[in-house]
């Protein structure tokens, strides 16, 4: 039977081996269930909504999530990036309740449905820029971002005679570069404070209504989609209930404050304080 002599050198070597084994086990357990990069990208393409408390971060350039108002004005926004079979219903419902909304249009949708773009403008609704190709802009440089915005507005101007002044980033993704590039090009960057999450097929109309109406307050910006699964059921109830509560729907441009403003750490636009 061999005899092992426990020298100081042997003890240090054994300790080092133990630490390496423990570290390797920790890393394996920590990352074994982490999705691959491709899986993350695939999931992100299906998601265009984030909670208000997640994205705004102190020290970052921020978009407008909501507006600091106390006059019961709110804005209804409708993103259009796919299909249009429910658009006539949406436009007729807005007319019925005398509501002007802000439609954020994507270039793919504009190309496919130019007559609807004209009709949205004709009925007095505001049109915002939702990018030409709906890319992940946080991965792009300023020049590419501004080209996306300009190319779409060239199309909008040809169809409606107007260019947009509002921009909503695709997927709700943004970075300092995205915000600054948009500002330099003359756009206010707009997110949302109340999300219907109507792109999820399994959400009931009542769940959507409860999620929006129970916390609705002055200055809120509501996010809907032109082909949201339950929009034909929830939209009339949302508008009518909000109006009964004393809220008044305006376009995003009307909701925004004028003069010198700032955006707080929660993404709420405020009148700039003077000290």
- Reported as a single tens digit per residue, the pLDDT across 224-264 is 999 999 999 999 999 999 999 999 999 999 999 998 999 99
Domain range 66-271, its CATH number among 3.40.250.10, 3.40.710.10, 3.60.15.10, 3.20.20.370? 3.20.20.370
> Is residue 186 pLDDT above 80, yes or no?
yes
Catalytic residues: 79, 225
What per-residue confidence (pLDDT) applies to 273? Answer: 75
Contacts of residue 132, Cβ cutoff 8 Å, sequence gap at least 6: 106, 107, 147, 148, 149, 151, 152, 155
d(CA 180, CA 209): 34
pLDDT in tens, 108-152: 999 999 999 999 999 999 999 999 999 999 999 999 999 999 999
Q: Mean pLDDT across the chain, nearest whole number?
A: 85
The secondary structure of residue 85, as a DSSP letter, is: T
Q: Are 173 and 138 in contact (CB under 8 A)?
A: yes
d(CA 149, CA 164): 9
Q: How confident is the model at residue 61 (pLDDT cuts 50, 70, 90)?
A: confident
- Bigger pLDDT: 246 vs 272: 246
What per-residue confidence (pLDDT) applies to 37? Answer: 32
pLDDT in tens, 22-52: 555 444 443 333 333 333 233 333 334 333 3
What per-residue confidence (pLDDT) applies to 272? Answer: 83
Q: Containing H/E element for 8?
A: helix 8-31
């Amino acid at each position: 039977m061999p005899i092992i002599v426990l020298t100081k050198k042997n003890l240090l070597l054994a300790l080092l081996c133990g630490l390496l084994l423990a570290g390797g086990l920790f890393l394996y357990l920590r990352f074994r269930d982490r999705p691959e990069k491709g899986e993350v990208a695939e999931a992100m393409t299906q998601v265009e909504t984030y909670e208000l408390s997640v994205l705004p971060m102190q020290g970052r350039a921020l978009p407008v999530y909501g507006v600091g108002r106390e006059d019961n004005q709110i804005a209804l926004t409708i993103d259009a990036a796919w299909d249009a079979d429910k658009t006539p219903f949406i436009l007729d419902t807005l007319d019925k309740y005398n509501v002007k909304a802000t439609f954020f249009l994507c270039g793919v949708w504009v190309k496919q449905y130019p007559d609807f773009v004209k009709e949205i403008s004709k009925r007095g609704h505001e049109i915002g820029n939702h990018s030409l190709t709906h890319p992940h802009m946080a991965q792009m440089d300023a020049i590419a971002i501004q080209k996306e915005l300009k190319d779409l507005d060239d199309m909008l101007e040809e169809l409606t005679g107007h260019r947009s002044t509002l921009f909503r980033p695709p997927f709700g993704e943004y970075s300092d570069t995205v915000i600054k590039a948009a500002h330099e090009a003359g756009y206010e960057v707009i997110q949302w404070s109340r999300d219907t999450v109507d792109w999820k097929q399994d959400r009931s109309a009542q769940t959507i209504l409860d999620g929006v109406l129970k916390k609705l307050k002055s200055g809120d910006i509501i996010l809907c989609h032109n082909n949201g699964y339950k929009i034909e059921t929830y939209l009339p109830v949302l508008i009518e209930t909000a109006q009964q509560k004393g809220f008044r729907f305006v376009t995003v441009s009307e909701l925004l404050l004028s003069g010198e403003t700032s955006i707080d750490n929660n993404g709420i636009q405020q009148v700039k304080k003077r000290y």
